[in-house]
Structure 1
Amino acid sequence: MNRQTLPLGRKRLAKSLFIGTALLLSSCLLSIGVEWISRGSLWETLAWIRRNTSIYALNALISGSALILFYSLIGSVFLAVGAAAVLLSVMAFINYYKSMLVGEPFFPWDIILNKEGMDVGPLFTGAQDLLKLAVILAALGGLIYLHRKLKSRLMVSWISRGILGAVSLAVLLSFGLQVSWAKERVAKAGVDDTIWSQQANYDSNGLLLAFTLNVQNAQVPEPEDYSADKMASLAQGLTADTFGEAIPAFNQTDGKEPAAPQKRPNVVFIMSEAFWDPTRLSNVSFSADPVPTLHQLQQSYPSGTMLSPQFGGGTSNVEFEVLTGLSMSFMPAGSVPYLQYVNGSVPSLASYFETKGYRSLGIHTYDGWFWNREGVYKELGFEGFKSKDGFINPEYNGLYISDNEIADSIIHEIDQSDDPVFIYAVTMQNHAPYTDKNRYPSGNTFKVEGDLTEEARDMLETYAQGAHYADQALKRLVEHFAQSDEPTYIVFYGDHLPTLGLEYDLYRQAGFVQSGKPADWSLTEYKSLRSIPFVTWSNFAAPEEQQVNTISASFMGSYVLDTLGMKPEGQFALGSKLYRSVPGLIRNLTVDPSGALSHTVPAGSEELVEQYRLLQYDILFGDNYLSRFVDAPFLTKEPMANYNTLAAAVKEEE
C-alpha cells in the first residue's frame, strides 16, 4: 500500500467521524434546546427526557434529519447547525407563546397562515426569554467562528451531501406520512398520538415529533361505516320529519294584533370580535355596566350561552361552525377548515337563504385575505363579501375600523335592497391585544376594582371599553330597526373569550379558573372558558322561540331557522334534532338538555352524533351522497357567477 494513501484515508475517516459526531451531538442538543424553549423550563425538559428516553430519541432523529438536510444544501456543518437552530428555535418560541396565549400548540397548518402568522418578537420581555435568546446568539456566534476557521478542512463532495440529504428527507416524510417502518418506531417508543388533546400530545411526545405526526392529520380519514346505503338511511330519517313553514308575524305598534309581513324578514348574524360579558368575573367589579344593551336584551328577548370551539383566537372556526352547521369536534385538533378543507362548494346558511329568495352578504372590517375569507365566502354561496377595502373613509376607533361602521353597513344593505337580506357580519374593533391602556382616544371610562395586578387591571379596563363599544353598536342597530318597517331578525354573539395574559393570567387572578394549565381544569372551568353570551332581537313577533341555556355554535343556524319557522334542510335539519338532544357538543365536552357536563356523548344520543359525523364527512370530504337523497337545492348550489360584482358596483358608485 502506498504510504501516502494511508494518511489520506485516515484524514477522510477522521473528517467523516468529526462531521458525524458533530451532527449527532448537535441533534441531541437541538432537541433539548427546542424543548427548553417550548416548555419554558430546562428542569422540566430534563425530567421529560428521563421519563421518555425513547420518545426523546425520536425527537433527536427528527431534528437530526432536519439538520442533515440543511447540511446537504449548505455544505458547512457549522452553518447548517446554525440554520437548523434558528428554524427550530422559531418553531419552539411560536409553540410556547401560542400555548400560553390560546391554549393550543403550533401546528403544521399554521404555516399556511402567512401574514396571519404569530409575531413573537414583541413578547420577548421576560428574563428567561432573554436568557434563551442569549444562548442562541452565543451559539450562532461560535458556529460562525468555527465555520471560518475550519471550512476548508471539512469540505465533502456534493454527491455525498446529496445522498445524505435524500436520506434525511425520506426520514422526515416517513414520519410525517406515517409509513410502516416509521409507524413501528413510533409504536415501540410508546408514543400516544393524542389528537383529541393536542396540548397533551405535545407535552407527552415533544414539539418536533408531535408537529411531524400532525402532518397526517391535515386530512380527515374516511369513517369505516361511511357508504351510500348509510347516507340513504340517514337522509330518510331527516326527510321523514316535518317542520313548520310559517312566516313570523310582524309586530305592529298601533295596538292591533300582529299581522304577517309581506316578505320574509331580513336575517342578520353579528359575530362580534372577542365579545364576552366581563361582569361574569365574580372577584372584580366595574364602576359601571360595560355591556348594558346585552343585559337589557337578555331580560326581554330569547338569549342564552353559545358554546365556542375556540378560546382567544381561531375566529374562522367559529364562523365555519355557524355558517355550515358542521362541527370542529370531528376534525383534527387545531385544524382550520377555511385554509385546509374548503376547496370547493360547501352548503351553508348563505346558499340556503339564496335558495329561499334572499340576497346573501358577508361583511368584515378587516382584510379579505385574512383566513382566506374572500375565497371561502364564494364557496359558501354568498352573493358578495365586503371586506375592509369596501369601506370608504371608514371611522377607526383604536387599532381597527369601528363597530359603528359595521352597523351602518348592515343598515345600508337592508334599506337599499328590494329583496330580503341574509347578512353575516364579523367585527374587528375589539381584537387583541388589550395591553395598551391608551388604546382608545376617549380613554378607558370603566374602572375595575378587585385583587388584580396593575397590569391585569389595565388590560381588563381596556377590554371592557372595547366590549362597551361593541354593545353600543348593537344598540345602534336595535334602535334603527325598531323604527323600521323592514322586518328584521338579529342574533348577536362573540366568537371566543379574549386572551387576557399568558397562561390565563387574569382569569386566574379573578378566580375564574384555578390553574393556567387546561389539563388541570374541571369540566365546569373548561365550559366557562368556551361560553359566549348570545342574544336575539326582532322587530316582529316571532313564533315562540325554543329557549336554550347552552347551544353549540354549530347548531346556531338550525336554532335560528326553527325560530323563524323556516324549514331546516340537510345538515341544519339534523342540527335541529341535535341541539334538543345534545345542545353542547365541542371537543372534550358535551352538555345534555339538563345542563349536565361530560367528556362523552349523553346516553341515547350516540347514534345521532354518529350520523352527524357521517353527514359532515359526506359534505366536506365524501361523495355528497346526501344531496342525492334529499331534495334541498342549497346542497348542490354552485358558487354564484356574479359573486362580489354587486359589491364592486356599489363601491364604484360611492
Structure 2
Amino acid sequence: MHLNLKPRSRLRKKPNKKMRPQRLGATISLVLFLILLPVLSVAGMELLERGSLHDTMSWITSNQSLFLLNAGITFCLLIFIYALVGSLAISGAISTLLLGLMALISYMKVTMIGEPFFPWDILLNKESMDIASLVTGKAALIRIGAIIVSIIVVLALRWIIPRTTISIISRVGLGLFSLYALYAFGIKTPLAGKILDHIGVNEIVWNQQENYANNGTALAFTLNVKNSIVQKPETYSDVAIGAVAANIESVSQAQTQPAMKKASVDTLQGKKPNVIFIMSEAFWDPTLLSNVTFSEDPLPTIHRLQKESTSGYLLSPQFGGGTSNVEFEVLTGNSMSFLPGGSIPYQQYVSKPVPSLASYFAGQGYKSMGIHSYEGWFWDRNSVYKQLGFESFKSSEHFVNPETKGYFISDAEVSRNIIDEVDKTEDPMFIYTVTMQNHGPYDDPRYGENQFKAEGNLTPQAKTILETYTQGAHDADQSLQMLIDHYQNSDEPTMIVFYGDHLPMLGLDYQVYKEAGFISTSNANAWSLDEVKKMHSIPLVTWSNFDMPKQDIPLLSDSFLGAHVLDMLHMEKPANFTLNAELAAQVPGLLSNLVVDQDQTLHAEAPESAKTLIDDYRNVQYDLLFGKQYLAGYIDHDYLTKASQPSYNAEFDQPDSKLRAEGDSGSPPEAKPVSAQ
C-alpha cells in the first residue's frame, strides 16, 4: 500500500478576495448592532417608564450626555452577556429582556407606591411576584407586549446579521472590560466619579423618583448599587459615641421619676401590663378627605378614642407599601431617614441580633411575640424576628382554620388570636401585631355590598376604590373594639397601641386623593411640605384598662413611638430609646424630605439647632447596625449585645401538634394557605 502524504502547507488555499467584502460587511453589521441596540434599548426603557413619547424625546434631547452614558451602561451589559453566550442575537435578546423587565418593574413600582426599581429589589423574590400580581390594566399589558415584540425582533436578526465569531481570549477580555466598567459606575470609583462629574450627573438619593427621571433608569439603577452599603458617617468614632453615652446617662438620671413609677405599680397591684402593638395594614382615616362625605361614620372606635385616650398622628416613612420599614422604625427606634432611599432593612441590614422593643421587653420578664396574618417568609420576617429578640412568631401558617375576608385573613381573626395567646400565657406579653385584611388593591369590591357610601366629586372608579377601602378600615376599627370589649372586663392589665403603617394606595397615580382634593397634583415631586406631611400622617390611638393620663400627640415619627410608649408606662428606657425621646422633644417628625420641629413648623431639612442631636442619632444607629458597637462599651451592655433567644419559635416548630397542645402554648400549625390575588 502506498500513501501519498503531502504537506498541509501545500494544500492551503489562497485567500479569496471575494470573502473580504463579506467579512467587512459582517464587521459593520456587528458594530452597528452593538451601537444601535443599546441606544434603542435606553430609548425603549425610558418610554416604558415615562409612558409618553414626547416626555421621552424631551429628556433625550435635553440630556444627550446622560442619554449616551445610559447607552454606554447598556452596551457594557450587552457585551458582558455576549462574552458569556457567544451569540450576538441571543445576547441581544437576553439584554433586551433584562432591561425591559427593569423598566417595567420600575414603572409598576412608581405607579403603585411612588418608588422606582432598586438593585436590592432583586432580593425580594416572592414579594416581587406578589406585587406584580396586584398590577393589572391596559398600560401594563401594552408594556409587556412591547417587551415581547422587541425580544422577537432581536432574535429574528439572527437570520439577517452575518454570523461572526471571535476567539475565546477576545471574549474573556470583553467580558472583563464590561464587568469592570459596570463595577466602576456601580461603586463610583474615582475615574467613574470624574466622568459623572464631567457629564454633570446629579444623584438625588433622597428623592429616587426624581433621580431616575433626571438621570435615566439604567444609570440611576447602576448608581444605586453603592447605596446597598450604608456609608459610615463622617462624625462616627469611639470618642463621639462615648460623648453620646455620657449625654444619655445624664438625661436618664434627670428623667428618673421613682414616684410616678411606684404609683403606676401600685395601680396595677404589682402586675406588669400586657403591651399590644397593632399595626393595621394600610389603616388611615378616609373621613379626612375634606371633599368627601360618608353615609355613616366608618371609624366609631377610633374617633371615640381620639377624644378619650392618648392619640395623635404618626409620621410614616412609607406610602402605599413597604410595611416592614415601618416595623423596623417602631421596633428598633432607628430611622429610615439615614438609609438609602428605597432600601429594605429587613432584607439588607438585619442579619445579626439588633436591639429592639422585643428584646427589651423580653429582658423585663415578658414573652415577646410577633403575630402576622400573612406568610412568614414575607419580608424575611421568619429570620428577622429572631434577630430582633422575639421568643416566637405566629404567622398565617400557624393560624388554625382562620376566617378570611376579601383576599386575606380577617382582622377579627387576628384579634381572636391575640386574645388566645394572652390567655394561655402566664407571663405578661409584648405582642407586635401586623394585620393583612385591608391590603390593596381596592378596585375590586371584594367585600360585596359596601356598607359605607361615599359622596363627592369622584369618578365611579374612584368611588368604588374608596368605598371598598373604607369597608376594610371599618372592619379594622371593629377588630380593635373587640379587643377593648374583651380586656375591659379582664383582670389582666393591658395596654393597646393601634396605628397604621402607611396611607393606602387608592388607585394609580394617587387617583382618589387627587379627585378628593386632598393633594393638588399626582406629581409627588411637586407637593408642598404640608402635602408631604398629610400623605405620611397616620392616626394613632391607645387604650388601656388601667388609668393613664390622656396626651395629645400632634405628630411623632414612627421611630420615636417606642420611647413614647415606654414613657407612658413609666418604664426605664434603654440607651437608644432615651436618645430617641430627647430628639423627639426637639424634632418630633423626621423624614428624609420633611422635618417637623417642636412647634409643628415644617422644614425641608433639619434646623441648625437640632443638627448636633440628629448627628448623634445617626451615629448611634450606624453603631448598632453596621459599626463596632462602641455604645455597648459605655452603657446598657447586656441589652445592646443581647443574642437572639435560643428557643425562638420552638412552640410553633413542634413537628407533633399534640406536643404543642399538651404544652398549652398555642394551636397546631395547620393554617390554610393565604395568597394575594
TM-score, scaled to structure 2: 0.92
SS in 1 for 2:552: coil
Partner of 2:671: none
Of 455, 463, 488, the residue aligned with 1:457 is 463
Partner of 1:338: 346
Cα deviation, residue 18, structure 1: 1.5
Residue 400 (str. 1) matches residue 413 (str. 2): no
- Distance between the aligned counterparts of 2:385 and 2:431, measured in 1? 12
Residue 236 (str. 1) matches residue 246 (str. 2): yes
- Distance between the aligned counterparts of 2:559 and 2:280, measured in 1? 17
Partner of 1:112: 123
- Distance between the aligned counterparts of 2:133 and 2:647, measured in 1? 42
Cα deviation, residue 139, structure 1: 3.4
Residue 466 (str. 1) matches residue 476 (str. 2): no
Residue 184 (str. 1) matches residue 197 (str. 2): no
Partner of 1:69: 80
Partner of 1:373: 381
Per mean C-alpha deviation after superposition, the further-off stretch among 403-412 and 634-643 is 403-412
Per mean C-alpha deviation after superposition, the further-off stretch among 586-595 and 519-528 is 586-595
Residue 324 (str. 1) matches residue 329 (str. 2): no
- Distance between the aligned counterparts of 2:263 and 2:439, measured in 1? 37
SS in 1 for 2:151: helix
Partner of 1:226: 236
Tell me, yes or no, if the aligned pair for 1:568 and 1:576 is still in contact at 8 Å. Answer: no
Q: Which amino acid aligns with 1:244?
A: Q
5 Å-filtered alignment, 1:252-267, equals: 259-267=267-275
- For residues 59-117 of structure 1, the C-alpha deviation after alignment (integer angstroms, 9 at most, x for no partner) is 00111111122222332222222221121111111111211211111110111000000
Partner of 2:358: 350
Change (3 A) 1:143 1:606: closer
Q: Which amino acid aligns with 1:506?
A: V
Q: Which amino acid aligns with 1:371?
A: W
Partner of 1:103: 114
Q: Which amino acid aligns with 1:125?
A: G
Of 244, 250, 270, the residue aligned with 2:278 is 270
Cα deviation, residue 174, structure 1: 1.4
- Distance between the aligned counterparts of 1:498 and 1:248, measured in 2? 42
Residue 45 (str. 1) matches residue 69 (str. 2): no
Of 481, 497, 500, the residue aligned with 1:494 is 500
Q: Which amino acid aligns with 2:101?
A: V
Cα deviation, residue 545, structure 1: 5.4
SS in 2 for 1:88: helix
- Distance between the aligned counterparts of 1:346 and 1:144, measured in 2? 49
Partner of 1:197: 207
- For residues 498-549 of structure 1, the C-alpha deviation after alignment (integer angstroms, 9 at most, x for no partner) is 001111111100000011111110001110000000001000012x355321
Cα deviation, residue 43, structure 1: 1.2
Partner of 1:211: 221
Tell me, yes or no, if the aligned pair for 1:250 and 1:539 is still in contact at 8 Å. Answer: no
Tell me, yes or no, if the aligned pair for 1:307 and 1:532 is still in contact at 8 Å. Answer: yes
Partner of 2:648: 643
| Identity over aligned pairs, percent | 47
Of 559, 579, 583, the residue aligned with 2:584 is 579
SS in 1 for 2:370: strand
Partner of 1:255: none
Cα deviation, residue 149, structure 1: 4.8
Tell me, yes or no, if the aligned pair for 2:438 and 2:473 is still in contact at 8 Å. Answer: yes
Tell me, yes or no, if the aligned pair for 1:249 and 1:541 is still in contact at 8 Å. Answer: no
Residue 291 (str. 1) matches residue 277 (str. 2): no
Residue 388 (str. 1) matches residue 401 (str. 2): no
- For residues 124-168 of structure 1, the C-alpha deviation after alignment (integer angstroms, 9 at most, x for no partner) is 533x555555544443333333313556x3344444333222222
Per mean C-alpha deviation after superposition, the further-off stretch among 307-316 and 69-78 is 69-78
Change (3 A) 1:577 1:323: same
Cα deviation, residue 564, structure 1: 0.4
Residue 436 (str. 1) matches residue 454 (str. 2): no
Partner of 1:525: 531
SS in 2 for 1:264: coil
Partner of 1:166: 176
Partner of 2:33: 22
SS in 2 for 1:541: coil
Of 133, 137, 149, the residue aligned with 1:125 is 137
Change (3 A) 1:249 1:260: farther
SS in 2 for 1:434: coil
- Distance between the aligned counterparts of 2:533 and 2:233, measured in 1? 28
Partner of 1:477: 483
- Distance between the aligned counterparts of 1:121 and 1:646, measured in 2? 33
Residue 548 (str. 1) matches residue 553 (str. 2): yes
- Distance between the aligned counterparts of 1:423 and 1:137, measured in 2? 48
Change (3 A) 1:563 1:290: same
TM-score, scaled to structure 1: 0.95
- For residues 213-257 of structure 1, the C-alpha deviation after alignment (integer angstroms, 9 at most, x for no partner) is 000000111111211111111001001123335447679xxxxxx
Tell me, yes or no, if the aligned pair for 1:489 and 1:539 is still in contact at 8 Å. Answer: yes
Cα deviation, residue 580, structure 1: 1.3
Consecutive unaligned residues in structure 2, runs of 5 or more: 1-11, 662-666, 668-677
Consecutive unaligned residues in structure 1, runs of 5 or more: 252-257
Per mean C-alpha deviation after superposition, the further-off stretch among 292-301 and 239-248 is 239-248
Partner of 2:625: 620
Partner of 1:254: none
- For residues 423-470 of structure 1, the C-alpha deviation after alignment (integer angstroms, 9 at most, x for no partner) is 100000111111111x12x53111111111111101111000110111
Of 310, 329, 335, the residue aligned with 1:302 is 310
Partner of 2:612: 607
SS in 2 for 1:551: strand
Cα deviation, residue 283, structure 1: 0.9
Partner of 2:99: 88
Task: Quote the RMSD (CA, aligned, Å).
Answer: 2.0
- For residues 167-221 of structure 1, the C-alpha deviation after alignment (integer angstroms, 9 at most, x for no partner) is 2222111111212222221111100111111111111100000000000000111
Q: Which amino acid aligns with 1:417?
A: T
Q: Which amino acid aligns with 2:176?
A: A
Tell me, yes or no, if the aligned pair for 1:244 and 1:566 is still in contact at 8 Å. Answer: no
Tell me, yes or no, if the aligned pair for 1:362 and 1:385 is still in contact at 8 Å. Answer: yes
In the comparison of the two structures, how many residue pairs are matched?
643
SS in 1 for 2:617: helix
- For residues 546-602 of structure 1, the C-alpha deviation after alignment (integer angstroms, 9 at most, x for no partner) is 532100000000000000000111110011112211110111101112211111213
- Distance between the aligned counterparts of 2:646 and 2:520, measured in 1? 52
Q: Which amino acid aligns with 2:348?
A: Q
Partner of 1:145: 156
SS in 1 for 2:438: coil
SS in 2 for 1:540: coil
Per mean C-alpha deviation after superposition, the further-off stretch among 113-122 and 168-177 is 113-122
- For residues 267-320 of structure 1, the C-alpha deviation after alignment (integer angstroms, 9 at most, x for no partner) is 110000000000001111111111111001111001000000000000000000
- Distance between the aligned counterparts of 2:146 and 2:421, measured in 1? 57
Tell me, yes or no, if the aligned pair for 2:83 and 2:172 is still in contact at 8 Å. Answer: yes
Cα deviation, residue 15, structure 1: 2.0
Q: Which amino acid aligns with 1:642?
A: S
Cα deviation, residue 121, structure 1: 6.6
Per mean C-alpha deviation after superposition, the further-off stretch among 591-600 and 296-305 is 591-600
Per mean C-alpha deviation after superposition, the further-off stretch among 75-84 and 197-206 is 75-84
- Distance between the aligned counterparts of 1:136 and 1:262, measured in 2? 66
- Distance between the aligned counterparts of 2:257 and 2:95, measured in 1? 62
Tell me, yes or no, if the aligned pair for 2:298 and 2:471 is still in contact at 8 Å. Answer: yes
